[in-house]
Amino acid sequence: MPLTLPDHTAAACCDLLCSEDASQLAEGTLCEGGAVDAASPPVEFPDDSDESIAGFIECAADYSPGRDYPDRFRSNSLDSVAREEAVAWILRVQAYYCFRPLTAYLAVNYMDRVLSSHRLPQNEWALQLLSVACLSLAAKMDETILPSLLDLQVERAKFIFEPRTIIRMELLVLTALNWRLRSVTPFTFISFFAHKIDSVGKYAQYLVALATEITLATMKDVRFLSHCPSSLAAAAIIRSTDEIVGLDSINPEAAASWCAGLTEEGIANCYQSMENVITNISKRPSMILSNLRVATSIDMGQRIPSSSSSPNTRRKLNNNCSSVDSGKEGL
């Protein structure tokens, strides 16, 4: 189904910027350099958490692309290279502005859900416009400090879109998603699964940090579209235990007992797919991995120093980018 929007709908758009105060930001947020606050207290889960998490597992499919979506990349009816480039751009902007990892994941989730049910115009700029709109919506959902729509288009963007064009695409995305933006993602489960391994909280912050990097690393690979968010989270936590001194390895069978709805087969298949991805992570310089390994072998109670820049950093736009006006056909 092509994306179409009546002209009168654009006039009804409203400011979706969230109104939370920046002081509400949690301590220990993962940032560009990968710092994590080890001194923050462990997350506490109420007694009915198992039931709540099981409910998220059950409804995750409602916030995921269609079942045939991964097969369309394998059959080349959808361009996996173009998607990979779009996801890579979203991750670059997430690192540039020090957005939360969930923001990047939500943006890709929105993009995949739209692509699985709607056809984009066959041209060079359409997927980038969709990526910008999805990242803007995700940032409005999860961030308290946002760049302008023009400033959002950094990190080697091939085109620069006018704000009114992006807002129009945001409305198309909202319509396509039935305004259901609070998706179920691996980040819904990661902290809970880390608590299952380490209920005392000694290693939980490091498990979450490693699992977060692993999860972000899987986003560009279309093979992981076949795995549900809970299996991704469980496999990432299992793999993270191998990187932390003092934690015993966990197998998929044990992980499947963490909550109703998890399956040993689903976790094992996802874990197997992660092996190559984790190898690639380990080969590149990583502030998260290097800091965590040092900290876990010396003193789990010390705070890891951060070399990352301020989350409010604003940088100049690329002057060589092309400009795209709001008169594009098919929007």
**Longest CA–CA separation in the chain, Å:** 62
| Single-letter code of the amino acid located at 268 | A
Burial class (CB in 10 A: 0-12, 13-18, 19+), 263: middle
Q: What is the pLDDT of residues 297-313, one digit of tens each?
A: 333 333 333 333 344 44
- Full-model pTM: 0.74
Q: Which of 46-60, 114-128, 205-219, 289-303 has the highest mean pLDDT?
A: 205-219
Q: What is the pLDDT of residues 236-284, one digit of tens each?
A: 999 988 888 778 888 899 899 898 888 999 999 999 888 877 665 555 4
Q: What is the pLDDT of residues 116-169, one digit of tens each?
A: 988 888 777 999 999 999 999 999 999 999 999 999 999 888 889 999 999 999
Report the pLDDT value the prediction gives residue 164, as an integer from 0 to 100.
95
Mean pLDDT throughout 231-235? 93
Domains of the chain: 32-64+184-307 (1.10.472.10), 76-183 (1.10.472.10)
Report the pLDDT value the prediction gives residue 320, as an integer from 0 to 100.
37
The whole-angstrom separation of Cα 243 and Cα 194 is 14
CA proximity to 120, closest of 270, 330, 326, 274: 330
Q: How many CB atoms are closer than 10 A to CB 311?
A: 17
Report the pLDDT value the prediction gives residue 34, as an integer from 0 to 100.
41
| Single-letter code of the amino acid located at 54 | A
The whole-angstrom separation of Cα 257 and Cα 173 is 37
